[in-house]
Structure 1
Amino acid sequence: MGERERLLLYCEQIRAGSQVMPLSLRCCLLLLVACLSGPAWAESRLLFAYGKHDGPPHAFMSERAPRELQGGILFDIGMEIGRRLEVRVGFVEVPRPRLPSWLEEGKVHAHCQLNPEWVDVPQQLLWSHELFSTADRFYLAGSRSENVHRHEDLKGMRLGAIRGYTYSEPLTRLVNSGAVQREDASSTQQLVQMLVRGRIEALLTDEIVADYLLSLQPYDIAGAPLEDARQGRFCAYSAKAPIPFERFNEVVRAMIDEGRVREIINQYR
């Protein structure tokens, strides 16, 4: 017999007048409520961060105001974590430059599309197991993509990149020396439009995002053989979150081991 069944039986005995113990019905009911109420954090709300920089398929926004996150990889991962933790979840839009400080301050609790190398002081945050890995890849118009095998092949180009992102050391050197002119945008959608209109000669972005967008429109754009870097994606977690990090990370590990994270990603390919 489980704990809940024992408490129910005990309450019934008291209601029927059985003198099992000198305990009031009120105390019994309080014990029952405590037992049935679920985890200690069940009434908490776990806030996941997202931003315009994530873009589809990581983040899909509602079309009507107020624009809110309503789907995508980040949404699905957050909802699955919340379901397994038996806790309510919410999604908060955060500008990319403010994301680390908002996590540190507990204004948001998690963002599952980060890498410790992208944060100035990663020790201020807690980091989950690696959810998945993906590459930042170069995309060019037409057959020009076939000619980019090394970073030096980008010399003289205007390169579109996501605002606020730090890329590989070889690329950073080329940009700092002026050999490559970097043009920033807030999303991959904007970068694709800049490339189509000839404002840039190449763009650099997450291959999951680019491949999804290019599958929707017949643009004459292709990925180059060169990857800027292949890195893991993790959940950055706030030490001020309402749920213990150890429990959060257990759920993330289970989702990885069961193939659930990969299933979510594959839905958008």
Structure 2
Amino acid sequence: MQSRFFVLAFCFLAITRVSAETLRWGFSPTDPAPYVMMQGGELGPSITRSMGELVASRLGWQLEFVEVPNNRLDQSLRGGRIDLVCNTNPAWHRAPEKHRWSRPLYHDADVVVIRAGRTIPDRLEDMEGMRIGAGHDQHYPPELANAFSDGTFQRLDVRDTETRLRMVEHNRLDATVERRRAVQYHITRHPDHLLAIAPWTLAEIPLQCVAEQKHRDRGTRAIETLERLYGDQDIRAVLTGFGLVAEQ
């Protein structure tokens, strides 16, 4: 009798596991901390992981994190490789009106970072001829993108924020353009840093989550759940835990 109970219990758990929905949460491994942090080739403790686990738990779904380069997000959403992705903005997508968007969860900004002790430029035009660090799949405001294209700045593509900041400290780059929150997070973890952030911004960026909504409803349901969690302060608590201020 006892053995039959365990067999039935195992079968029930197996059926439940098979029948449960799986939410495929996309992320770019080159997004900076604290949005994305990699550990051993996998997504580690980060805003992305915390938000994904919170949403999946509320829905009662399994969760799979899927690496997607920033320049392939639209393709991955349309093709069903991922159900949604966060830390993005409608301006970075070819047809944003075809997707389901969350409200802005927090704002960030593109800022110029130089080595401490150097003269901080007052505007972009003051940086002519500089070696500027950039990410190959990152989105930049038009003014900066044009300056890269016409050779006003010497663009050096470097994979991740941490490496670019270290290169600035060691004078291998004259400056780098980064997300302000990412630089602030780096500075809090490295009090002996040799970095200075320009007081002006290249662009203010409201960051949102986006889901494909034409053929599948998993992403749309995740967005709806995320909105409810935001209203209940749960998402705000995640952001606050990583030093970010959520939108009111």
Contact 1:129 1:252 (C-alpha < 8 Å) held by counterparts? no
1:254 matched to 2:222? The reply is no
**Structure 1 residues 260, 148: CA separation in 2 closer, same or farther (over 3 Å shift)?**
farther
1:104-253 alignment to 2 at 5 Å?
104-144=78-118, 147-217=120-190, 218-239=192-213, 240-243=215-218, 245=220, 247-253=221-227
**TM-score normalized by structure 2?**
0.83
Could you tell me how far 1:138 is from its partner in structure 2?
1.0
* Code of the aligned partner of 1:168: P
Could you tell me how far 1:200 is from its partner in structure 2?
1.1
1:54 matched to 2:25? The reply is no
* Code of the aligned partner of 1:255: L
**Structure 1 residues 259, 151: CA separation in 2 closer, same or farther (over 3 Å shift)?**
farther
SS of residue in 2 equivalent to 1:214: helix
Partner of 2:43: 69
Could you tell me how far 1:144 is from its partner in structure 2?
2.9
**Structure 1 residues 138, 54: CA separation in 2 closer, same or farther (over 3 Å shift)?**
same
| Seq. identity, % | 25
Stretches of structure 1 lacking an aligned partner (at least 5 in a row): 1-32
Could you tell me how far 1:242 is from its partner in structure 2?
4.7
**Structure 1 residues 61, 266: CA separation in 2 closer, same or farther (over 3 Å shift)?**
same
Structural RMSD (CA): 2.2
Could you tell me how far 1:184 is from its partner in structure 2?
1.4
SS of residue in 2 equivalent to 1:148: coil
**TM-score normalized by structure 1?**
0.77
Contact 2:134 2:176 (C-alpha < 8 Å) held by counterparts? yes
Stretches of structure 2 lacking an aligned partner (at least 5 in a row): 1-11, 244-248
Runs of 4+ in structure 1 deviating by more than 4 angstroms, as ranges, are none
How far apart are the structure 2 equivalents of 1:244 and 1:113? 15
